[in-house]
A and B are shown apart, each in its own frame.
Chain A
Amino acid sequence: DIVMTQSPESLAVSLGERATISCKSSQSVLFNNKESLAWYQQKPGQPPKLLFYWASARASGVPVRFSGSGSGTDFTLTISSLQADDVALYYCQQYYSLPLTFGPGTKVEI
């Protein structure tokens, strides 16, 4: 199984400041020149919401202050200017191989 790790476990960021979350996979998730890596946002009592697929392709409706990047085994989710609505848990997930696996999550607070 591909093991996904995330850092930090939690971070507190001031409104309007940048938040950066790291995700690492235990092996490459490159498939047909695309990184099989997704990012999700989850708020309490809700299912996860897809933010990015193929590591950097923004899902429909996701604000441009969110960006996804990375390659190989190292990936990053960045919130350029944190808003109150961005307080949530953030997860990365690989879909390169079964079983689909997720990172443990990063809690973003203000």
Chain B
Amino acid sequence: QLHLQESGPGLVKPTETLLLTCTVSGASLTSPNHDWVWIRQSPGRGLEWIGNIYNGGTTTYNRSLRSRVTISIDTSKNHFALRLTSVTAADTAVYYCARTIMLRSINYYGVAVWGQGTTVTVSS
């Protein structure tokens, strides 16, 4: 049974860097055709896709965040991470990690597994 668990600071100061991790149990981060995803949700912006990492390190990001975001994988800890620099109040949100199965240009199976989410507040 695949389980995802987000962790990170609940409070970050403006201009600082946010680092969140998603610990994966029940699957390998190098499984073929698995995309590991970050999505966030805020009252003002709704659900917002941040980016995916797949094939052990290939990434795709929302261009609205691309200059500030990095998603990486640490197979030794079986987790993947989100790094968001120069945060502002607009980055206050619940952050979810998730998994989808994507056979690029062939098939796709939806974002079927989600973590419970972690709340991040950006405030001084």
A pairs with B: no
